[in-house]
Chain A
Amino acid sequence: MAVFYRRLPRFEYLLPKTLEEALSALKNQKGSAKVFAGGTDLIPQLKRREIPTPKCVIDLKGISGLDKITYDDGSRLTIGSLATISALAQSPIVLQHFPSLFQAASSIGSPQVRNRGTFAGNICTAVPSADSAPALLTLEANVKIKGPKKERTVPISKFFTGPRMTVLKPDEILLEISVPKPAPASRGVYLKLSPRHSMDLAIVGVAVLGVSENGVCKDVKIALGAVAPTPIRAPMAEAMLKGQRITSALIDEAARNAITQCSPIDDHRASQEYRCDMVYAMTRRALNQVFAQ
Chain B
Amino acid sequence: MEEYSVIGKRVPRFDSREKVMGQGKYAADYSMPGMLWCKVARAPLPHARILNIDTSRAERMPGVKAVVTGKDFGGWTWGFMANTRDEPPLAVDKVRYLHEGVAGVAAIDEDIAEEACELIKVDYEELPGVFDPEEAMKEGAPIIHDYRPNNVSVDYHWNFGDVEKAFADSYIVREDRFKTGKVIVGFLEPPASLAYYDPTGYITVRAAKQSPYFHYRHLAACFNLPLNRVRVIQPLIGGGFGGTKNDSVAGDFCAVMLSKMTGKPVKFVYTMDEVLTTCRRRHNMIVYNKMGMTRDGLLTAIESRVVANGGAYTAIGPLAMYLAGFATTLPYKLPNFKYDCYRMFTNNPVSAAMRGHGITHTRFACEIHMEMMAEELGIDPVEIRMRNAIDNPKRGEVYRTINDVSLKTCGLKEAIKAAVEDPLWSEKEKRPKKAGPVSYGVGLSGTSYLGGARQLGHQSCGAIVRICEDGSVNLLTGATDCGQGSDTVLTMIVAEELGLKYDDVQLQRVDTAYTPVDPGSYGSRVTALAGQATQKAAQDAKKQLVEAGAKAWNVTPEEIEIRNSVVYLKKNPDKKMSFEKLAKIASYEGSGAVILGRGYSGYGIEPLDFMTGTGNGGTGYSFTAQTVGLGVDMETGKTDVTDFTIAHDCGRPLHPISVESQNEGGAVQGLGQAIYEEFVMDKGKTFNDSFLDYKMPRSTDSPDIKVIDIITDDPDGPYGAKEASEGSHVSAPPAVVSAIHDATGIWFKELPVTPEKIVKALKEKGRWLK
Chain A residues with a Cβ under 8 A of chain B? 1-7, 10, 48, 193, 195-201, 267-271, 273-274, 277-278, 280-282, 284-285
A201-B692, A282-B636 known; A5 and B114 CB under 8 Å?
yes
5 contacts between A and B (CB under 8 A): A4-B273, A10-B111, A195-B676, A273-B760, A281-B769
Nearest Cβ on chain A to B693's Cβ, whole angstroms: 7
- Choice from A1, A7, A10, A270 contacting B756 with Cβ under 8 Å: A270
State in angstroms the CA–CA spacing of A277 and B756 once bound together: 10
- Choice from B269, B437, B640, B756 contacting A271 with Cβ under 8 Å: B756
The answer on a CB contact under 8 Å between A285 and B695 is no
> Which residues from chain A contact B763 at a C-beta distance below 8 Å?
277
Nearest Cβ on chain A to B493's Cβ, whole angstroms: 40
**Which of B36-44, B552-560, B564-572, B580-588 is near enough to bind chain A?**
B36-44
State in angstroms the CA–CA spacing of A284 and B436 once bound together: 13
Tell me the nearest residue of chain B to A273, going by C-beta: B760
- Choice from A3, A195, A280 contacting B755 with Cβ under 8 Å: A195
Chain B residues with a Cβ under 8 A of chain A? 39, 41-44, 98-99, 102, 110-111, 114, 117-118, 120-122, 269-271, 273-274, 277, 437, 635-636, 638, 640, 675-676, 680, 687-688, 691-693, 695, 697-701, 754-756, 759-760, 763, 768-769
State in angstroms the CA–CA spacing of A4 and B43 once bound together: 11
- Choice from B43, B270, B676 contacting A2 with Cβ under 8 Å: B43
Q: Choose among B274, B277, B691 the residue with the greatest number of A CB atoms under 10 Å from its CB.
A: B274
The answer on a CB contact under 8 Å between B692 and A199 is yes
Nearest Cβ on chain B to A251's Cβ, whole angstroms: 13
State in angstroms the CA–CA spacing of A196 and B697 once bound together: 7
The answer on a CB contact under 8 Å between A281 and B636 is yes
A10-B111, A193-B636, A197-B700 known; A2 and B769 CB under 8 Å?
no
> Which residues from chain B contact A195 at a C-beta distance below 8 Å?
638, 675-676, 695, 754-755
State in angstroms the CA–CA spacing of A265 and B698 once bound together: 27
- Choice from B273, B701, B756 contacting A196 with Cβ under 8 Å: B701
Tell me the nearest residue of chain B to A267, going by C-beta: B687
State in angstroms the CA–CA spacing of A281 and B633 once bound together: 11
Nearest Cβ on chain A to B532's Cβ, whole angstroms: 42
Tell me the nearest residue of chain A to B276, going by C-beta: A4
> Which residues from chain A contact B273 at a C-beta distance below 8 Å?
4, 48
Nearest Cβ on chain B to A209's Cβ, whole angstroms: 22
> Which residues from chain B contact A284 at a C-beta distance below 8 Å?
635
The answer on a CB contact under 8 Å between B44 and A200 is no
> Which residues from chain B contact A199 at a C-beta distance below 8 Å?
691-692, 698
A195-B754, A268-B687 known; A1 and B118 CB under 8 Å?
yes
State in angstroms the CA–CA spacing of A171 and B118 once bound together: 32
The answer on a CB contact under 8 Å between B44 and A2 is yes
State in angstroms the CA–CA spacing of A2 and B686 once bound together: 14
> Which residues from chain B contact A1 at a C-beta distance below 8 Å?
41-44, 102, 117-118, 120-122
> Which residues from chain A contact B759 at a C-beta distance below 8 Å?
274, 277-278
Tell me the nearest residue of chain B to A281, going by C-beta: B635
> Which residues from chain B contact A10 at a C-beta distance below 8 Å?
111
State in angstroms the CA–CA spacing of A277 and B120 once bound together: 48
State in angstroms the CA–CA spacing of A284 and B437 once bound together: 12
Tell me the nearest residue of chain A to B110, going by C-beta: A7
State in angstroms the CA–CA spacing of A271 and B118 once bound together: 35
> Which residues from chain B contact A6 at a C-beta distance below 8 Å?
110, 114, 269, 271
> Which residues from chain A contact B698 at a C-beta distance below 8 Å?
196-199
The answer on a CB contact under 8 Å between B42 and A3 is yes
The answer on a CB contact under 8 Å between B43 and A196 is no
State in angstroms the CA–CA spacing of A10 and B115 once bound together: 10
State in angstroms the CA–CA spacing of A5 and B277 once bound together: 13
A6-B271, A7-B110 known; A196 and B676 CB under 8 Å?
yes
| 9 pairs of A and B residues whose beta carbons are closest in the complex | A268-B687, A4-B274, A197-B700, A268-B680, A2-B42, A281-B635, A274-B756, A198-B698, A4-B271
The answer on a CB contact under 8 Å between B692 and A200 is yes
Nearest Cβ on chain B to A252's Cβ, whole angstroms: 9
The answer on a CB contact under 8 Å between B270 and A4 is yes
Nearest Cβ on chain A to B673's Cβ, whole angstroms: 14
Known A4-B270, A277-B759, A277-B768; further 6 A-B contacts with Cβ < 8 A: A2-B42, A3-B42, A7-B110, A7-B111, A268-B687, A285-B437
> Which residues from chain A contact B692 at a C-beta distance below 8 Å?
199-201
Tell me the nearest residue of chain B to A204, going by C-beta: B636
State in angstroms the CA–CA spacing of A270 and B635 once bound together: 15
State in angstroms the CA–CA spacing of A100 and B676 once bound together: 27
A195-B676, A200-B695 known; A3 and B754 CB under 8 Å?
no
A6-B271, A201-B692 known; A193 and B42 CB under 8 Å?
no
Tell me the nearest residue of chain A to B752, going by C-beta: A195
> Which residues from chain A contact B693 at a C-beta distance below 8 Å?
268-269
Tell me the nearest residue of chain B to A3, going by C-beta: B117
> Which residues from chain B contact A280 at a C-beta distance below 8 Å?
769
The answer on a CB contact under 8 Å between B700 and A7 is no
Nearest Cβ on chain A to B279's Cβ, whole angstroms: 11
The answer on a CB contact under 8 Å between A3 and B269 is no
State in angstroms the CA–CA spacing of A144 and B50 once bound together: 55
State in angstroms the CA–CA spacing of A198 and B640 once bound together: 12
State in angstroms the CA–CA spacing of A278 and B273 once bound together: 30
Tell me the nearest residue of chain B to A193, going by C-beta: B636
- Choice from B39, B44, B111, B701 contacting A198 with Cβ under 8 Å: B701
State in angstroms the CA–CA spacing of A267 and B768 once bound together: 23
State in angstroms the CA–CA spacing of A284 and B634 once bound together: 14
Nearest Cβ on chain A to B316's Cβ, whole angstroms: 24
Tell me the nearest residue of chain A to B769, going by C-beta: A281
Tell me the nearest residue of chain B to A280, going by C-beta: B769
The answer on a CB contact under 8 Å between A193 and B638 is yes
State in angstroms the CA–CA spacing of A195 and B768 once bound together: 18
The answer on a CB contact under 8 Å between A3 and B39 is yes
> Which residues from chain B contact A269 at a C-beta distance below 8 Å?
688, 693
State in angstroms the CA–CA spacing of A2 and B118 once bound together: 8
State in angstroms the CA–CA spacing of A274 and B760 once bound together: 8
Nearest Cβ on chain B to A182's Cβ, whole angstroms: 26
> Which residues from chain B contact A4 at a C-beta distance below 8 Å?
42, 99, 270-271, 273-274, 277
State in angstroms the CA–CA spacing of A185 and B588 once bound together: 89
State in angstroms the CA–CA spacing of A7 and B122 once bound together: 23
The answer on a CB contact under 8 Å between B120 and A198 is no
Nearest Cβ on chain A to B121's Cβ, whole angstroms: 8
State in angstroms the CA–CA spacing of A4 and B250 once bound together: 13
A3-B42, A48-B273, A285-B635 known; A196 and B122 CB under 8 Å?
no
State in angstroms the CA–CA spacing of A169 and B667 once bound together: 50
> Which residues from chain A contact B640 at a C-beta distance below 8 Å?
197
Tell me the nearest residue of chain A to B103, going by C-beta: A1
State in angstroms the CA–CA spacing of A284 and B699 once bound together: 29
